[in-house]
């Protein structure tokens, strides 16, 4: 279906009418919808896996590990926690408000929300965000990626079968359709994608002063720092697994490695061995290995690898027909080269070396660049690692691990600056799609004249004395 501005305006208007009917407000009703969503995901599991295989070449195991399973976990957390999260907060109003002693903070939905989802995890990063919006009591218009066409088509059927369009509906199409959506007045926008498009989304949202959450990859990529005291075999094994996942097309994936010079050669041999053990010598011929999303993405990856061909020490091969490009280690790379100053979103893995004694200078250089979405440290020096994690600015990360901070219940996910704004997952997603409304319950008896005129003379002095007393 080719959408027009009128079509989209009518969809938004229908959702606004539905929201204003108050149907989405009761917590019991929201929980029923979340249970319905979970049941529908389980019923369509094979369809989602088939779509992910067509779009990204993902195996069923990887599709379930990275998309289906996390959705079920996320929705289960919402179902069990929503009553507690949505409970109004009760506050003592304070002596200054006497005799009005009770104030409540209600967690209210924004209203009609727009969710713009990406191609790399088209199922997870659509349904997961929609679930958060539903938990918050909002209606949802979804604009999914045209690059992941099979997943978008499957999602469109899925939502049409599961919910009425005035509650949740998916709009497909290209950038022109996304811009038509952004031209409408939504009450909340959630965008996942690149920083460059994130700026555009934010600029369009500003025209209506619409609050926005951005989940971005980070302009200069996510660093993985491996110090000389690290368990090199363990680090290599985990890094190889992560870089193979979705062929590197993950917003929190390792963009570049910084390795201590003292152990660089040993680590790189361990990393090569880990890649071979997990995917074989020719990843591009392995049926389990994912592919890049488009021909343009493949060509961009291959062109950059060719630019650094003389420093490719592992991989560097691909199959343009299948769009699979092998995990590729590029070494040595200077920290100021352009390949480590932008997000790659592909299987290329540039490696920078540093003297272990100069690690704090390295961290200063990283801190001077745009804030990454993730940071990973491998070291036995927990004092140093804890200090770094508490002083650097980034979205989230791990010490001696990769990516699984995403799987922890009850914690927020997102970045800061060029890696995003806002946060979601579990209760944090509920908070992102609600706004707090403070309501004081006034009293009609025993009201004092403290706040009223006159303020001069002896009366004023007495009022001042009482004000200073109350405000201590």
Concatenating the DSSP letter of every residue in 278-332 gives HH-S-GGG-TTS---SSHHHHHHHHHHHHHTGGGEEE---EETTTTEE--EEE-S
| First-to-final CA distance of the chain | 64
Annotation says 251 is catalytic: yes
Q: Name every residue whose Cβ is closer than 8 Å to that of residue 294 and which is 6 or more positions away in sequence.
A: 147, 323
Instruction: Report CA torsion sign: 326, 236, 124, 212.
Output: negative
Given the residues 66, 181, 224, 251, select the one marked as catalytic: 251
Dist. CA 119–CA 403, nearest whole Å = 19
Q: Name every residue whose Cβ is closer than 8 Å to that of residue 207 and which is 6 or more positions away in sequence.
A: none
Closest listed residue to residue 320, CA positions, set 297, 304, 343: 297
Closest listed residue to residue 244, CA positions, set 217, 271, 215, 216: 271
Closest listed residue to residue 56, CA positions, set 345, 307, 336: 345
What tokens does 86 get? 């949505």
Dist. CA 85–CA 467, nearest whole Å = 36
Dist. CA 323–CA 422, nearest whole Å = 34
CA 185 and chain centroid, separation: 23
Write the DSSP symbol of residue 247. Answer: G
Given the residues 45, 62, 77, 215, select the one marked as catalytic: 215
Q: What are phi and psi of 160, to 5 degrees?
A: -65, -35
Annotation says 45 is catalytic: no
What number of other Cβ atoms are within 10 A of residue 54's Cβ?
A: 15
Spell out a b/e string for 365-375, using b for 16 or more CB atoms within 10 Å of the CB, else e.
ebeebbbbbbb
C-alpha pair distances (Å), 422 with each of 89, 118, 195, 212: 21, 17, 14, 8
Active site residues: 215, 251
């Amino acid at each position: 279906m080719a959408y027009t501005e009128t079509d989209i305006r009518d969809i938004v208007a229908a959702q606004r009418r539905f929201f204003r009917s108050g149907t989405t407000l009761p917590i019991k009703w929201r929980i029923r919808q979340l249970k319905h969503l979970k049941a529908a995901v389980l019923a369509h599991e094979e369809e989602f896996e088939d779509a992910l295989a067509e779009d990204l070449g993902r195996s069923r195991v990887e599709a379930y590990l990275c998309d289906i399973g996390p959705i079920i976990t996320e929705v289960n957390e919402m179902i069990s926690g929503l009553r507690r999260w949505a409970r109004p907060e009760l506050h003592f109003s304070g002596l200054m408000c006497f005799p009005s002693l009770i104030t409540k903070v209600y967690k209210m939905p924004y209203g009609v929300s727009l969710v713009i989802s990406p191609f790399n995890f088209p199922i997870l990063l659509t349904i997961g965000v929609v679930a958060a919006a539903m938990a918050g009591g909002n209606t949802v218009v979804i604009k999914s990626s045209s690059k992941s066409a099979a997943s978008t088509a499957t999602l469109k059927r899925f939502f049409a079968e599961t919910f009425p369009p005035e509650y949740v509906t998916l709009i497909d199409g290209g950038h022109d359709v996304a811009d038509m959506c952004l031209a409408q007045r939504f009450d909340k926008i959630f965008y996942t994608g690149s920083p460059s498009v994130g700026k555009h989304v934010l600029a369009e949202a500003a025209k209506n002063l619409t609050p926005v959450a951005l989940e971005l990859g980070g302009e200069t990529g996510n660093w993985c720092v491996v110090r000389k005291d690290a368990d090199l075999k363990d680090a290599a094994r985990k890094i190889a697994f992560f870089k193979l996942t979705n062929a590197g097309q993950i917003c929190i994936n390792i963009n570049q490695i910084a390795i201590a010079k003292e152990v660089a050669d040993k680590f790189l041999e361990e990393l090569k061995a880990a890649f071979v053990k997990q995917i074989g010598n020719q990843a591009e011929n392995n049926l389990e290995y994912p592919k890049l999303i488009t021909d343009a993405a493949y060509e961009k990856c291959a062109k950059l690898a060719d630019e650094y061909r003389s420093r490719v020490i592992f991989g560097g091969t691909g199959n343009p027909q299948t769009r699979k490009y092998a995990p590729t280690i590029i070494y040595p790379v200077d920290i100021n080269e352009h390949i480590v100053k932008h997000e790659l979103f592909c299987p290329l893995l540039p490696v920078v070396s540093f003297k272990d004694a100069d690690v704090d200078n390295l961290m200063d250089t990283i801190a001077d660049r745009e804030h990454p979405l993730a940071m990973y440290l491998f070291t036995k020096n927990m004092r140093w690692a804890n200090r770094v994690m508490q002083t650097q600015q980034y979205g989230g990360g791990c010490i001696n691990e990769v990516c699984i901070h995403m799987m922890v219940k009850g914690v927020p996910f997102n970045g800061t600056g060029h890696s995003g704004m806002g946060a979601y997952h579990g209760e944090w997603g509920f908070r992102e799609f609600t706004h707090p409304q403070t309501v004081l319950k006034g009293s009609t008896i025993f009201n004092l004249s403290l706040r009223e005129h006159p303020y001069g003379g002896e009366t004023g002095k007495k009022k001042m004395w009482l004000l200073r007393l109350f405000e201590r």
